[in-house]
Amino acid sequence: MNSNDAKTVLRVVKIVAAVLVILILGFNCYYTIGEQEQAVVTTFGKADAVSTPGLHFKVPFIQKVTKVDTTIKGLAIGYDANTGMSVEDESLMITSDYNFVNVDFFLEYKVNDPIKALYASQNPVLILKNMAQGCIRSVIGSYDVDSVITTGKSEIQSKIREELMAQLEDKDIGIQLVNLSIQDAEPPTAQVIEAFKAVETAKQGKETAINNAKKYRSEQLPQAEAQVDQIKKQAEAEKEARINEANGQAARFNALYEEYIKYPLITKQRMFFETMQEILPDLEVIIDNGDGSVQKILPLDSFGN
């Protein structure tokens, strides 16, 4: 190979190398962000977040881009999300009345600060899970077993969410709690499960009895109110009758008093005979003359004539 051929080969190699460098630089000077993504661009150790979807440019070999998924993700606590099998170390808890209970939770979260999610901690999801388990055990431990299994689920979920959100805000690891719900809650043994089912059945029976009693009350109350109204009306009528009778007696007494003032003796005799006639209507009056003969006076009202 002569010198001209060597120069030609060298020139071709340089051109190819230049094209390769240009291609490498070209492919490393831009990046794209999806709708449910954010990017963290690091320049000489300084991180900046980019949240606008679409095509973006960067300085090759100087700026480093890390994409962060911001979709809502789920985290199972107390069971394996793939198999559905219980994880006893996570699910088994003790209540305030010293009973054991298995409780499964499902937690939903998303990244709300990609920079902190990448650099504030080594594994923010694990931290979130540990904090959630701590809040869950703390709240479950303040309720009795009956509330955990039956009546208090909504209140328990609400309290756990509040405590966990407060801890996340305090730790500030770039993750936001979206929702937390109880998937299942039951005693750890079959015998206890049956006992709680019996208790729940009894509670339902209690509710049915209460509803039936309320229904009976709603049916009987109008009748009772009608009877009360009737009794009141009868009492009012009796009251009016008594008042009228009393007024009549008072008027009679006043009229008798006026007659008494005019003719005291005659009035006294009349009052006496009227009283005797009222008290002893069937009285037979027998007068003994003292000589063995008797005189019968019938009837008594003849004295009033």
Residue 170 belongs to domain with CATH number: 3.30.479.30
The residue among 39, 68, 97 that closes a domain is 68
Which helix (DSSP H) or strand (DSSP E) does residue 26 occupy? helix 3-27
The residue among 68, 91, 112 that closes a domain is 68
Which helix (DSSP H) or strand (DSSP E) does residue 130 occupy? helix 124-140
291 vs 52, more confident = 52
Mean pLDDT within 111-136: 92
188-246 pLDDT per residue, tens: 766 566 666 676 678 788 888 888 888 888 888 888 888 888 888 888 888 888 888 88
Q: 195 with 183, same domain?
A: no
Are 296 and 266 contacting, i.e. CB atoms less than 8 angstroms apart? no
Asked whether the CA dihedral 79, 85, 87, 91 is positive or negative, the reply is: positive
The residue among 19, 39, 68 that closes a domain is 68
Mean pLDDT of all residues in the chain? 81
Q: 294 with 230, same domain?
A: no
Q: 97 with 173, same domain?
A: yes
Q: 78 with 179, same domain?
A: yes
Which distant-in-sequence residues (6+ apart) come within 8 Å of 36 by Cβ?
A: 69, 70, 71
C-alpha span between 225 and 15 (Å, rounded): 108
Q: 272 with 244, same domain?
A: no
Q: 196 with 237, same domain?
A: yes
24 vs 159, more confident = 159
Mean pLDDT within 135-139: 95
Q: What is the pLDDT of residue 72?
A: 94
Q: 116 with 134, same domain?
A: yes
26-65 pLDDT per residue, tens: 556 777 888 888 888 888 878 888 788 888 777 777 888 8
Q: 225 with 277, same domain?
A: no
Are 77 and 133 contacting, i.e. CB atoms less than 8 angstroms apart? yes
Domain residue limits at 285:
263-304
pTM above 0.85, yes or no: no
Backbone Cα Rg of the chain: 52
Which distant-in-sequence residues (6+ apart) come within 8 Å of 28 by Cβ?
A: 58, 60, 61
CA atoms within 13 A on the CB side of 4: 0
Q: 127 with 162, same domain?
A: yes
C-alpha span between 50 and 65 (Å, rounded): 10
Domain count, the chain: 4
Q: 129 with 204, same domain?
A: no
Which helix (DSSP H) or strand (DSSP E) does residue 103 occupy? strand 100-111
Mean pLDDT lowest among 146-150, 160-164, 281-285:
281-285
69-79 pLDDT per residue, tens: 999 999 999 99
Which distant-in-sequence residues (6+ apart) come within 8 Å of 147 by Cβ?
A: 155, 156
150 vs 135, more confident = 135
Q: Using pLDDT thresholds of 50, 70 and 90, give the confidence band for residue 141.
A: very high
C-alpha span between 303 and 305 (Å, rounded): 6
